[in-house]
């Protein structure tokens, strides 16, 4: 349950939180039954997990939920609202539109440990990435397509500092990262820096332009090891090259298709879960 529960919103949460003006460390694998929205008086909910502490914008979902409840109470779940806001935020950033399938219900449980255990880390290699996506019913193509969401948002230095200063625990840098890019990153991220942040797609981090992301990856300027890993597989590398050389000719359609697939994984429907009246607490 934990894996499927945390899998669907890899991009939904990523995009939504980006346009709430703060993104957490380039990671976005959350519970798409809206469990990440729940509060815990003892700070044991998903939003209290270390990878999620930088997430912002929960109040936006709360405001949307309040407005929707006034019009049609008890009908639209927080999970569906999160999915719809993610799509609309993408469109607002000049990104693709896709039809969001609705009918999700909200979960009643939010566990801090699920985020820390089930997140695919930004340091993941291609084998880990492919395996993680496969376990969630997603293809290798979905992996490389959805990685394109790194065209928007920011990341804290702590998510990639090891690539700059201590890649193999010998005080070295990551050989797969462009040396000139390393020099620029070092100006913003000092050793041990946990709080400073950089743009994931320098110069256009508020615009959804996947071709820019794939061009950066080809130039060995993907910010995370998981970005660089896309060049370590023949299928993902071919897709990166295609989008980089054709200015993202199929990236928008592909992205929408993959988002729809993600939106079908592990959702609560029927009589499972509930439709929360307030997104931060169970009914």
**62 is annotated as contributing to ligand binding:** no
Give pLDDT tens digits along the chain (283 positions).
Answer: 333 333 334 444 444 443 333 333 333 333 778 888 999 999 999 888 877 776 777 888 898 999 999 999 999 999 999 888 888 888 888 899 999 999 999 999 988 887 666 678 889 999 999 998 998 889 999 999 999 989 988 888 988 999 999 999 999 999 999 999 999 999 999 999 988 989 999 988 888 898 899 999 999 999 999 999 999 999 999 999 999 999 999 999 999 999 999 888 878 999 999 999 999 999 9
Contact 39, 282 (CB under 8 A): no
Contact 150, 95 (CB under 8 A): no
Strands 154-156, 197-199: pairing kind: antiparallel
pLDDT of residue 8: 35
pLDDT of residue 189: 97
Model confidence, pTM: 0.86
47's tokens: 């939003």
pLDDT of residue 105: 96
Beta-ladder partners of 254: none
Phi-psi map region of 95: left, alpha, beta (phi>0 left; psi -120 to 50 alpha)? beta
Domain borders along the chain are 3-153+200-263
**254 is annotated as contributing to ligand binding:** no
Contact 162, 29 (CB under 8 A): no
**247 is annotated as contributing to ligand binding:** no
pLDDT of residue 184: 97
Q: Torsion angle of alpha carbons 240, 243, 248, 249, nearest 10°?
A: -140
Kindly provide the b/e burial profile for residues 222-234, where b requires at least 16 CB atoms within 10 angstroms of the residue's own CB: bbbbbbbbbbebe
Alpha helices in the chain (DSSP H): 2-7, 10-18, 58-71, 78-92, 112-118, 126-135, 140-146, 161-165, 179-188, 210-218, 225-228, 234-245, 251-262
**212 is annotated as contributing to ligand binding:** no
**151 is annotated as contributing to ligand binding:** yes
pLDDT of residue 12: 44
Q: How many CB atoms lie within 10 A of CB 93?
A: 18
Backbone phi and psi for residue 147, each to the nearest 5 degrees, phi listed first: -60, -25
**31 is annotated as contributing to ligand binding:** yes
Kindly provide the b/e burial profile for residues 251-266, where b requires at least 16 CB atoms within 10 angstroms of the residue's own CB: bbebbbbbbebbbebb
**123 is annotated as contributing to ligand binding:** no
The architecture (CATH level 2) of 3-153+200-263 comes to Orthogonal Bundle (1.10)
């Amino acid at each position: 349950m934990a894996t499927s529960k945390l899998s669907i919103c890899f991009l939904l949460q990523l995009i939504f939180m980006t346009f709430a003006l703060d993104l957490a460390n380039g990671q976005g694998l959350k519970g798409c039954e809206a469990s990440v929205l729940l509060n815990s008086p003892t700070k044991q909910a998903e939003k209290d997990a270390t990878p999620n502490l930088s997430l912002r914008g929960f109040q936006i979902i709360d405001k949307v939920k309040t407005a929707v409840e006034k019009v049609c109470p008890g009908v639209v779940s927080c999970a569906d609202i999160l999915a719809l806001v993610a799509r609309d935020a993408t469109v607002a950033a000049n990104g693709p539109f896709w039809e969001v399938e609705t009918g999700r219900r909200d979960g009643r449980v939010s566990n801090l440990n699920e985020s820390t255990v089930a997140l695919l880390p930004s340091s993941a290699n291609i084998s880990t990435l492919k395996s993680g996506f496969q376990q969630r019913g997603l293809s290798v193509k979905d992996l490389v397509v959805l990685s394109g969401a790194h065209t928007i948002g920011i990341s804290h230095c702590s998510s990639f500092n090891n690539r700059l200063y201590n890649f193999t625990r010998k005080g070295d840098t990551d050989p797969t990262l462009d040396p000139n890019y390393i020099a620029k990153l070092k100006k913003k991220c000092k050793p041990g820096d946990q709080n400073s942040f950089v743009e994931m797609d320098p110069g256009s981090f508020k615009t959804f332009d996947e071709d820019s992301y794939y061009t950066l990856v080809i130039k060995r300027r993907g910010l995370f090891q998981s970005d660089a890993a896309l060049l370590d597989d023949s299928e993902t590398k071919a897709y990166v090259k295609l989008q980089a050389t054709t200015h993202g000719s199929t990236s928008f359609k592909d992205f929408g298709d993959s988002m729809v697939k993600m939106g079908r994984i592990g959702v609560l429907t029927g009589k499972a879960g509930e439709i929360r009246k307030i997104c931060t607490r169970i009914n």
